[in-house]
Amino acid sequence: MDVASHQDQFPLTGAFLAGRLRHRLSESDKAHLESLAGTPRPLKDGDRLVARGARIERAHILIDGFMLSVIEKGGDRFVVGVHVPGDFVDLHGFALQRLDHDLVAAGSVRVAEIEHRRLQRVMTGRPALAGALWAATLLEAAIHRRWIRNLEALDAPRRIAHLFAELHQRMAMTGRNVSRTLRTPFTQTDLADMCGVSPIHANRAVGRLRELGLAKIRRGDLYTSDWKALEAYAGFDPEYLYGGSLSSP
């Protein structure tokens, strides 16, 4: 069964861990997870799903669109993570009870929520699924580490190239977008906040990628004829995304 029809079968949670250790989940666990999720809810651009520090009692899976993990400080905004469909955006809040950052919709978004108390029962009754939930939060940590390395190692054009290469790969793992265009709702200011540069410099970095013939970025949409070249330029190596060959604990 291909990824798309699989996701027809599990419209809410079908992309969860897709391309990673989803294939290790039993049909029963996949069906159970799907049954835990509530009716999808839409969010508008800029809506804050979870606020930093607030006590939380449910988790959310992202079905459509993009979300950002944001830390604000004194009027400045710092993006510390990006989420794609299939991501359990605030699953770490289940174990930690509150978040150290905000979760904000980028563009139009659909999410489904799952009560913590239901996840609690998964912890005791379905150890394999519980392990998969744990692993999902750790995949996010691996992405954090890569971001740290990128901020330490790359200049602005390479950071932006790496960001899109990562998004492309993550969406491909869930069966989305393997074409020449990657559509996102991100403004250049968003890109700047993700890459730790000023909006003006993000603009020049985008211009540099165009100059180099690697990618055209227009209103968040990236067009390229050569993903491999873009990835090579950014030093992108998908190893840290733990695609495919992962088994559950």
Partner DNA sequence: CGCATCCTTGAGGGCCATCAAAATGCGTGG
Partner DNA sequence: CCACGCATTTTGATGGCCCTCAAGGATGCG
Query: At CA 8, angle to CA 5 and CA 12, rounded to 5?
Result: 135
Q: Which does 37 bind (CB under 5 to 8 A by kind): a copy of itself, DNA, none?
A: none
| CB neighbour class for 181 (10 Å; exposed up to 12, middle 13-18, buried from 19) | exposed
Strands (E), 20-126: 41-43, 48-50, 58-73, 76-83, 102-115
Q: Kindly tell me which of 145 and 219 has the beta carbon lying closer to a copy of itself.
A: 145
User: Cβ of residue 4: shortest distance to a copy of itself, in angstroms?
Assistant: 27
Structure tokens at 224: 């390229």
User: Cβ of residue 146: shortest distance to a copy of itself, in angstroms?
Assistant: 7
The rounded distance, in Å, linking the Cα atoms of 241 and 208 is 27
- The number of residues that bind DNA (CB under 7 A) is 20
The rounded distance, in Å, linking the Cα atoms of 55 and 49 is 13
- Helix then strand then coil, in percent of the chain rounded to 5, is 45, 20, 35
Chain contacts with a copy of itself (rule: CB under 8 A): 53, 69, 71, 73, 76, 78-81, 92, 94-97, 100-101, 116, 119-120, 123-124, 127, 130-131, 134-135, 137-142, 144-149, 151-153, 193, 195-196, 235, 239-240, 242, 246-249
Query: At CA 75, angle to CA 73 and CA 78, rounded to 5?
Result: 55
Q: Which does 71 bind (CB under 5 to 8 A by kind): a copy of itself, DNA, none?
A: a copy of itself
Q: Which does 211 bind (CB under 5 to 8 A by kind): DNA, a copy of itself, none?
A: none
| CB neighbour class for 176 (10 Å; exposed up to 12, middle 13-18, buried from 19) | buried
Does 51 contact DNA by CB under 7 A?
Answer: no
Q: Which of residues 181-200 bind DNA (CB under 7 A)?
A: 187-189, 196-200
Q: Kindly tell me which of 66 and 224 has the beta carbon lying closer to a copy of itself.
A: 66
CA 116 remoteness from chain centre:
21
Does 213 contact DNA by CB under 7 A?
Answer: no
User: Cβ of residue 239: shortest distance to a copy of itself, in angstroms?
Assistant: 7
Among 108, 137, 177, 203, binds DNA (CB under 7 A): 203
Does 19 contact DNA by CB under 7 A?
Answer: no
Q: Which does 189 bind (CB under 5 to 8 A by kind): a copy of itself, DNA, none?
A: DNA
* DSSP 8-state class, residue 90: T
- Binding residues for DNA, per CB under 7 A? 155-157, 187-189, 196-201, 203-207, 218-220
